[in-house]
Chains A and B, each alone.
Chain A
Amino acid sequence: MFAVAERGLDRVFGQRLNPFYHLGALSFLSFWIIAASGLYLYIFFETSISGAYPSIEELTHGQWYLGGILRSLHRYASGAMVITAVLHLLREFSLDRLRGSHWYSWFTGVPLLWLLVASGISGYWLVWDQLAQFVAVISAEWLDWLPIFTDPMSRNFINAAAVSDRFFSLLAFLHIGIPLALLLLMFVHIQRMTEARSNPPRGLALGTLASFIVLSLAWPALSQAPADLDFAVGSVDLDWFYLAIYPLVDRWSPGAAWLLAAGVTTVVAILPWLPPGRRGPAAVVNLENCNGCGRCFADCPYDAVTMQPRTDGASFAEEAVVADDLCARCGICVGACPTATPFRRASELVAGIELPALTVHDLRERIQGKTEGLDGEGRVLVVSCRERPRVAESAGVVAVELPCVGMLPPPFVDFVLSRRLADGVMLAGCSDCDCRYRFGNDWMDARVAGERDPALRARVPRERLDRYWESRPARSATAARLERFREALKSLGPYQRNAAATPTREVRDGAD
């Protein structure tokens, strides 16, 4: 389902602006819209039983051009935040981005949802209309089921005389305090991400904001009739994003609703540790080949690599150290290592940092083995990310899979072409902004463009390299892409190394 939606949105928005690749960042955007609009609303809000409802009515109708729009923005951005947060969770689940190094973000995301819902619920109380009355009564009944109150909380809402102005002061405090806790936890949620994207691209942010404003003008958020605790609420216009559980509390029982909420929360929270668990060994540093250059440290998307003082007496200042629990086993650090070059003439090719499940030596062997049987015109080696659909091999096309396309050290492209193992190389990875390991294709793009070390040498003809970033392409789309690439290669003819270009520099052990 996600694949179909993503492909459709790719066509409409392009990969860079596809909202599905920015669900977390869109949640942040909604939060900031809610916070900014809430600040303004709070200036005019009266924290009293008699003043709350009229003050919001005045905001809504008396200054509809600003207060009314901001109130609507406040509400609709809140609803949108629930949608994007839940989609974000479902999508990460569908992509299995919750195990291993992802557990931290997943686990901290669960209480985030609770705080988000609590923030919204506390906001609905403040309006003190029929919906607020319903929310107050059902919330109190729900909380009364827990053995935490000596006197039932519901006794505070048995009639109008039981509610005091101090209650509204408490609510206002909660409606500010809980979102602040939410923001703090959002910050914690992204702590283990390097360069976490908490802002959507400008085009998407502006489009979303403009849509909120249009919605606010076309369909302004309004209060319902004022609360009256002497009469029961009849039909109420419910916000299903925040209050979906309330009918269950009302119709079932508070205990059953707690059981459901606690059960779902527990299951979701422990998902990262439920089978099937699949984790290979973490990246390992081979100190005899590590010169402490820090590129693996710079490129690791999860802060799993740190640079620490040298321990082996070598003349370099630092060495890379991998934290096993943070390592995602993506191999991006291997792609960043300057010693991971297949041209090396060492008896055994060992890079400064390696993924034990697929060493650089094994990768070279695998590529050489795969390309041996290639013949004819337009021979293509596809180096594909394991997270996307497998590329079908055919006559003239062989494929090698890596955990992430960012694991491929750029010299391998040079190696394949200069040794004429293939006429062209296709790098098939996740869509832009959707890399399973966050930066695999970004770093590869930058390396090919010569903007990031280790850069692809200038002598490598770029027309023989096709970067195909599409997370979930249709099989026919991949086949068509390959066919086009092969036709282009055929028109180029066999690869001829340009002697006038950058001379070949074969790298020996430990050298760049």
Chain B
Amino acid sequence: MTSGVQKSGSAGRVGQWLGQAVAYALFMGCVGYFATSPAYQHTAPDQAMLKLTISHPGQSREACRERSAEELAGMPPNMRAPMDCPRERSPVTVELRLDDQQLFNAALAPSGLHSDGPASLYRRFSVPVGTHQLLMRLNDSVREPQLWHEARRQLDLKPGQIVVVDFDSPSREFLIH
């Protein structure tokens, strides 16, 4: 007398089959619908995108200095490098302005356990389509705080367009992709 589905006539069986069909249809409807819906709006139609990304090693925080003869004599013979160049790098200060409004301004710390690696940055900004004036500034030396690498560009942004602002370390110039 185990409980379970009561075996009734063919009408009951048809009802069961219909019920199963409905259950499968509901489940598969749920699977199919949420596999693609509802849609998600990542970027509005009247917006473009500005990506600021930099990977740049700052200048050495301290200048190299020449070791004295006494210092060199006190060092193991295989380590007697005439110049002492501290590894630590300067933070890289980056400023980005769009139409005289500041989008980004921060000092990026150098990477690495000894702060001797490049400073890195990635940020994206949603920007209305149209014409804009872009100002980019970068300083990479605490020993020369007044020295800024600077560039200005006029942007004519289309809907959805991505503009990438990068900094080319060898040429020390801003790049706009």
A interface residue numbers (CB < 8 A to B): 9-16, 19, 75-76, 79-80, 83, 134, 141, 144, 150-152, 154-155, 158-159, 207-208, 210-212, 214-215, 218-219, 221, 229-241, 246-247, 250, 431-432, 445, 465-470, 481, 485
CA distance A431 to B5 in the complex (A): 11
Determine whether the beta carbon of B55 is less than 8 Å from that of A232.
no
B interface residue numbers (CB < 8 A to A): 1-5, 16, 19-20, 22-25, 27-28, 30-32, 34-45, 47-49, 51, 53, 55, 111-112, 117-118, 120-122, 124, 160-162, 164, 166, 177
Determine whether the beta carbon of A235 is less than 8 Å from that of B122.
no
CA distance A50 to B30 in the complex (A): 33
Determine whether the beta carbon of B3 is less than 8 Å from that of A159.
no
Determine whether the beta carbon of A230 is less than 8 Å from that of B161.
yes
Could you say which residues of chain B place their CB within 8 Å of the CB of A231? Answer: 160-162
By secondary structure, the A interface counts as helix
Shortest C-beta distance, A206 to chain B (Å), equals 11
Determine whether the beta carbon of A12 is less than 8 Å from that of B20.
yes
* Given known A-B contacts A11-B19, A232-B42, A239 and B118 have beta carbons under 8 A apart: no
Q: A233-B42, A236-B42 provided; 17 other pairs, C-beta below 8 A?
A: A12-B20, A12-B23, A16-B4, A76-B32, A76-B35, A151-B55, A159-B162, A214-B28, A215-B32, A232-B42, A232-B47, A234-B45, A247-B40, A431-B3, A432-B4, A470-B3, A485-B1
Determine whether the beta carbon of B122 is less than 8 Å from that of A144.
yes
Determine whether the beta carbon of A238 is less than 8 Å from that of B36.
yes
Determine whether the beta carbon of A239 is less than 8 Å from that of B20.
no
Shortest C-beta distance, B33 to chain A (Å), equals 9
Determine whether the beta carbon of A211 is less than 8 Å from that of B24.
yes
CA distance A432 to B3 in the complex (A): 9
Determine whether the beta carbon of B111 is less than 8 Å from that of A15.
no
* Given known A-B contacts A150-B118, A237-B37, A232 and B49 have beta carbons under 8 A apart: yes
A239 touches which of B3, B27, B34, B43 (Cβ 8 Å): B34
CA distance A35 to B24 in the complex (A): 22
Could you say which residues of chain B place their CB within 8 Å of the CB of A240? Answer: 34-35, 37
Determine whether the beta carbon of B177 is less than 8 Å from that of A159.
yes
Determine whether the beta carbon of A234 is less than 8 Å from that of B42.
yes
Could you say which residues of chain B place their CB within 8 Å of the CB of A238? Answer: 36-40
Determine whether the beta carbon of B111 is less than 8 Å from that of A215.
no
Shortest C-beta distance, B41 to chain A (Å), equals 5
Could you say which residues of chain B place their CB within 8 Å of the CB of A134? Answer: 42
CA distance A19 to B39 in the complex (A): 30
Shortest C-beta distance, B69 to chain A (Å), equals 39
Determine whether the beta carbon of A10 is less than 8 Å from that of B32.
no
Which residue on chain B has the smallest CB distance to residue A208? B24
Which residue on chain B has the smallest CB distance to residue A467? B2
Determine whether the beta carbon of B32 is less than 8 Å from that of A234.
no
A13 touches which of B20, B36, B44 (Cβ 8 Å): B20
Determine whether the beta carbon of A80 is less than 8 Å from that of B27.
yes
Which residue on chain B has the smallest CB distance to residue A77? B31
Determine whether the beta carbon of B162 is less than 8 Å from that of A155.
no
Shortest C-beta distance, B128 to chain A (Å), equals 13
Determine whether the beta carbon of B162 is less than 8 Å from that of A219.
no
Which residue on chain A has the smallest CB distance to residue B22? A12
CA distance A212 to B24 in the complex (A): 9
B53 touches which of A15, A155, A207, A212 (Cβ 8 Å): A155
* For the complex of A and B, 3 pairs with smallest distance between CB atoms: A12-B19, A14-B5, A152-B122
Could you say which residues of chain B place their CB within 8 Å of the CB of A144? Answer: 122
Determine whether the beta carbon of A234 is less than 8 Å from that of B55.
no
Determine whether the beta carbon of A235 is less than 8 Å from that of B32.
no
Could you say which residues of chain B place their CB within 8 Å of the CB of A445? Answer: 2
Most buried by A among B43, B45, B121, B166: B43
Could you say which residues of chain B place their CB within 8 Å of the CB of A470? Answer: 3
Determine whether the beta carbon of A236 is less than 8 Å from that of B40.
yes
Determine whether the beta carbon of B39 is less than 8 Å from that of A432.
no
Which residue on chain A has the smallest CB distance to residue B20? A12
B122 touches which of A11, A155, A247 (Cβ 8 Å): A155
CA distance A342 to B20 in the complex (A): 45
* Given known A-B contacts A9-B23, A150-B120, A211-B27, A232 and B35 have beta carbons under 8 A apart: no
Determine whether the beta carbon of A215 is less than 8 Å from that of B28.
yes
CA distance A432 to B4 in the complex (A): 8
CA distance A150 to B112 in the complex (A): 8
Determine whether the beta carbon of B161 is less than 8 Å from that of A79.
no
Determine whether the beta carbon of B164 is less than 8 Å from that of A159.
yes
Which residue on chain B has the smallest CB distance to residue A465? B1
Determine whether the beta carbon of A235 is less than 8 Å from that of B39.
yes
